[in-house]
Each structure stands twice: as C-alpha cells, then as structure tokens.
Amino acid sequence: MCESCDSGSVSKVNHRRHFLRLAGLGAGALLLAGVLPGKFALAADTTSAPPKPKNVINPDEALKRLMAGNQRYVSGHSKTHDFKAEREALVSGQNPFVAVLSCSDSRIAPEYAFDTARGDLFAIRVAGNFVTDEGLASIEYGVAVLGAPLILVLGHERCGAIEAGIKAVKDHTVFPGHIPKLTDALKSSIEAVIKQPGELVENATVQNVKDSVAILKKATPLLTDALDKGTLKIVGGIYRLATGKVELIA
C-alpha cells in the first residue's frame, strides 16, 4: 500500500474514533465547549423554533404516533405528503421524533411502514439490524443532538442475515468477502435460542431485536442519561412481510 493511501486510511479511522469520543462527552457539553460544528449546534439549538414543531413530543406520544402510522400503512390509508413544502421546511435543520435501527432488506422501508414524512424518522440501517459502533454513534447523535424521544429496533420475518447466521452456527458455513462480519455479530442471539422449540429463524429474529434493545439501554452516557430523565424510550418490533404490521416485542 502506498504511503499516501495508508495515511488517508489512518486519517479516516482517527476521525471516526474522534467522533465517538466526542459523542461520549455529551452534546450539551460539546456545544458549550464549541466543539460541535455549526450545523450540529443549529440542530441542537433550543432557543429557535424547531423545523417540525409537531415532532416535539414525549416518548409515549412518539410511540403512539409511530404505531398509528403503521396502522394507516397496513390498512392502505397512508397520508399524502407534500414533499416540496417539507424540503423547504427542513433546510435549516431537523428534529425527528424517532430513530429507527432496521435491516437493510429492500422489502422493509421504515418511512413507508410508519407513514412518516421527511424529517420525522432518523434511519440507521444494517443487514441484521444489530448495533454497531457506528450505528450507536448515529443513534446517540439522533437522541442527544437532534432530540429524538424514541428509538425503535426493527427486525423482520425471513431475514437473510439471520438465515446466514444460522447456517454459520449450525453448518459452520463460511461465507465469502466480509459477510462473516454479519454472521459473527448475530451468533450470540442465534445460540441463545438454538435449542428452543418453534421456528429457529423467527426465534433468532426476536432474540436479536431484544439483544439490540438491551445493548442500547445500557449505552452510556448519552442514552442511559436520557432514559433516566424520562426523555427517551427504547423499544423493539418485528415487521410482518405479508401485512406490513409491526408487532412490538420489547
């Protein structure tokens, strides 16, 4: 590897680690210290009117609103959204009312599944919907800086990442490329239910969601502080492919 390429790679890693360290300090402290850049400060500025005032709600209200949107989606009565007006309203910033950690599966689109508009849902997606360091940092940003009062971990039926993880655990299948990073991350959830009665894919999907919720509830200091103050709720759900219904499980 050439020296310039190597130094660029190290720079990216150091930048990522720097962001994670900053996130651990707390958004408020960072703003006071002048560490967060202007756009971050604008997003967290509580003295100006938020871009979407209707999104300034408590965790219980956020969950109720989210599930009402899913009911509209399931029944086929989703709202008509004015995307032009929404774009204009969100130029100055964002204040989503929910952060969703979901699978990358193309059949699951959280914005549609909960009938949300632009600026409502802060999305973090990875195949298998498990918590990564980068995903956690993104969620912390959504909560501490953008003010999201709700986090949803959303799994779904027939998840290909879960199925691959089961093959890796049961059959010792070794997948090419970087796919083993996915199966390794899901291994503990699969092993926890491998001897339970019922369908293994379903059981592992549920367990993975529960494990991810547990990880987020223990993420210090930003998420634990918000939970302690009652300004944040963390829940888990399963998306049913045939109906689009989301069932809360954790």
DSSP states along 28-54: HHHHHHT-S-HHHHHHH-SSSPPS-GG
pLDDT at 86: 83
**Under 8 Å between Cβ of 149 and 97:** yes
Q: What average pLDDT score do residues 162-186 get?
A: 98
User: Is 230 domain-assigned?
Assistant: yes
pLDDT at 47: 58
pLDDT at 88: 86
User: Is 31 domain-assigned?
Assistant: no
**Under 8 Å between Cβ of 168 and 204:** no
Sheet bearing 98-102, strands edge to edge: 121-125, 98-102, 150-156, 233-239, 246-248
User: Is 68 domain-assigned?
Assistant: yes
pLDDT at 89: 85
Q: What are phi and psi of 94, to 5 degrees?
A: -150, 150
Q: Calculate ∠ Cα 250-167-178, nearest 5°.
A: 90
pLDDT at 13: 39
What the block records as the tokens of 116 is: 């949300």
Confidence of residue 37 (pLDDT cuts 50, 70, 90): very low
Q: Is the peptide bond before 221 cis (omega within 30 degrees of 0)?
A: yes
Residue 173 has pLDDT above 70, yes or no: yes
- Look up the CATH number of the domain holding residue 169: 3.40.1050.10
- Select from 208, 151, 158 the least CA-distant residue to 183: 208
Domain total in the chain:
1
User: Is 10 domain-assigned?
Assistant: no
The burial of 198, by beta-carbon neighbours within 10 Å (0-12 exposed, 13-18 middle, 19 or more buried), is given as exposed
- Select from 182, 148, 153, 151 the least CA-distant residue to 168: 182
User: Is 23 domain-assigned?
Assistant: no
The mean pLDDT of the chain is 86
The burial of 199, by beta-carbon neighbours within 10 Å (0-12 exposed, 13-18 middle, 19 or more buried), is given as exposed
For 71-114, the pLDDT digits (tens) are: 999 999 999 888 888 888 899 999 999 999 999 999 999 999 99
Residue 154: DSSP 8-state: E
**Under 8 Å between Cβ of 22 and 30:** yes
pLDDT at 206: 98
pLDDT at 111: 96
pTM, 2 dp: 0.83
Please state, for a pLDDT cut of 90, what percent of the chain lies above it. Answer: 76
pLDDT at 18: 42
Residue 227 has pLDDT above 90, yes or no: yes
Higher confidence at residue 19 or residue 207?
207
User: Is 17 domain-assigned?
Assistant: no
List the single range of 61-65, 82-86, 91-95, 242-246 with lowest mean pLDDT: 82-86
For residue 79, give its domain range: 49-248
Confidence of residue 233 (pLDDT cuts 50, 70, 90): very high
User: Is 43 domain-assigned?
Assistant: no
User: Is 154 domain-assigned?
Assistant: yes
